[in-house]
Amino acid sequence: MTRLFGTDGVRGLANKKLTPILALKLGQAAAEVLTAHRESFERRPLAIIGRDPRVSGEMLDAAIASGLASRGVDVLRVGVLPTPAIAFLTDDYGAELGVMISASHNPMPDNGIKFFSSGGKKLPDSVEDEIQKAMEHLAEDGPTGTKLGRIISEAPDARGRYLAHLAEVVSADLSGIKVVVDAANGAASKVAPQAYEAAGAEVIAIHNKPNAFNINEDCGSTHIEQTQQAVVEHGAHLGLAHDGDADRCLAVDAQGNVVDGDQIMALLAVGMKEDNALRYNTLVATVMSNLGLKLAMEEQGITVIEANVGDRYVLEELAKGDFSLGGEQSGHVVLPDDCTTGDGTLTGLSIMARMAKTGKSLAELASVMTVLPQVLINVPVRDKGAIMADSELKAAIAEAEAELGDSGRVLLRPSGTEELFRVMVEAKSEEHARKVAGRLAAVVASV
């Protein structure tokens, strides 16, 4: 059986791989699995559904809401809000499950469906597998009459609840900080500027006018050049670039230099250690994090634990060790005391709070870490599963690792959301890293 769920929910080309019929069945199966062990039966189970602004989200929202209601679940549709807002609201409304319809940083024609259990927590693989299995055995009919779920399409307090939550967990006064915010024409187009302004920052918002078709289009965290240019043009203290569903945040310093997720984690970890808030003096990163992060944290007396790529795996490690900070180089930063998943807006607030507290620029704070040259090549492939078994590639990897020695490293892994194979190489010089990565990418492409 081919696994339906990837690294972060079910993704695919909307109306081709990810159809309304599939969404309907996902809703029905999720209703059966995620409400099976509810403790209270005084009311019907409740689901929260949110989405990013891409056009196919409207169609999939309607389909999955219908699937849930057909299995006796009440549905509250909260509209366009970030993924972390849906996670928070699932808990805040006391819902049995939450659904976010988004393909995150992927292009507009794609879409995705991700689920949260009660409390706003991402699902482990085993529960996702239960949902997929339940889809194969769905009864043709369901409850009728008064046992059907209701679909409520107005939630006027949803955004306000989330903004109030952000203001509560980061209470710093950001007056005097000028920030450029690139909302990627996505789910944070209203929320992120509002949250930063409420904290006192002067906000210059760009790419905050979604029209259902322009999400992630040459903007946001995957096209950060726009943010770099705007920061310099406006003389801002920093820039913050989100992705389509706003669970990511990358930053730009006043000189227009990118501050990636590793550097953000480094500066937050140092600050949290100073405040005795970094539990067990430990940071959870992933195997894709730059070697420079590990070296910098070692100097600061902070332990780095590696997780698999994907913020769900970071979350698992955080929960396992009761740690208080984790994330990914891509800009997913998780502060589990304040959120149940990566929250780009919370990350932006935390960065600026650190700047306000120390009086230091973002460049000064980020300088705690020296980024080693790292080259990442995404190679389109037909069969991700067959790549690593290739004997020629195994030999090429062994040769590259011997060539780099202790001064670099090689990492090859399949994308969890696209038909790509990622080739990452770190070395003392960018030229050397590009040479080795290009060689390995060519072997991957030939498999």
Give the pLDDT confidence score for residue 39 in this predicted structure: 63
- Closest C-alpha among 288, 217, 291, 225 to residue 252: 225
Give the pLDDT confidence score for residue 207 in this predicted structure: 98
DSSP string covering 365-391, please?
HHTTSPPPPEEEEEEE-S-HHHHTT-H
Please list, in sequence order, all residues whose beta carbon lies within 8 angstroms of the beta carbon of residue 91, skipping any fewer than 6 positions away: 118, 119, 120, 340
Domains of the chain from N-terminus onward = 10-155 (3.40.120.10), 161-366 (3.40.120.10), 374-446 (3.30.310.50)
Known binder of ligand: residue 104?
yes
Each residue of 205-261: pLDDT tens digit?
A: 999 999 999 999 999 999 999 999 999 999 999 999 999 999 999 999 999 999 999
Give the pLDDT confidence score for residue 335 in this predicted structure: 97
**Could you read off the pLDDT tens digit of each residue along the chain, which spans 447 residues?**
689 998 889 999 999 999 999 999 999 999 999 998 776 667 899 999 999 999 999 999 999 999 999 999 999 999 999 999 999 999 999 999 999 999 999 999 999 999 999 999 999 999 999 999 999 999 888 999 999 999 999 899 999 999 999 999 999 999 999 999 999 999 999 999 999 999 999 999 999 999 999 999 999 999 999 999 999 999 999 999 999 999 999 999 999 999 999 999 999 999 999 999 999 999 999 988 998 899 899 999 999 999 988 888 899 999 999 999 999 999 999 999 999 999 999 999 999 999 999 999 999 999 999 998 989 999 998 877 778 788 899 999 999 999 998 778 899 988 876 788 899 999 988 999 999 999 999 999 988
Give the integer Cα–Cα distance in Å for 231 and 219: 14
Known binder of ligand: residue 243?
yes
Give the pLDDT confidence score for residue 289 in this predicted structure: 92
Give the pLDDT confidence score for residue 41 in this predicted structure: 66
Give me the catalytic one of 104, 189, 324, 330. Answer: 104
Q: Are 307 and 286 in contact (CB under 8 A)?
A: yes
DSSP string covering 398-429, please?
HHHHHHHGGG-EEEEEE-SSSSEEEEEEE-SS
Residue written as token pair 């396992």 = 320
**What does the DSSP 8-state code read for residue 351?**
H
Give the pLDDT confidence score for residue 257 in this predicted structure: 98
Give the integer Cα–Cα distance in Å for 255 and 237: 9
For the question of residue 104 being annotated catalytic, the response is yes
Known binder of ligand: residue 218?
no
Token pair of 243, please? 């992705």
Give the integer Cα–Cα distance in Å for 78 and 87: 12
Give the pLDDT confidence score for residue 419 in this predicted structure: 80
Give the integer Cα–Cα distance in Å for 55 and 189: 15
Give the integer Cα–Cα distance in Å for 384 and 419: 7
Give the integer Cα–Cα distance in Å for 216 and 104: 9
Known binder of ligand: residue 245?
yes
Give the integer Cα–Cα distance in Å for 309 and 216: 22
Which value, to the nearest 10 degrees, does the dihedral of the CA atoms of residues 184, 185, 187, 193 take?
Answer: 80
Q: Which amino acid is at 212?
A: A
Q: Are 207 and 190 in contact (CB under 8 A)?
A: no
Each residue of 291-345: pLDDT tens digit?
A: 889 989 999 999 999 998 888 889 999 999 999 999 999 999 999 999 999 999 9
Give the integer Cα–Cα distance in Å for 53 and 189: 9
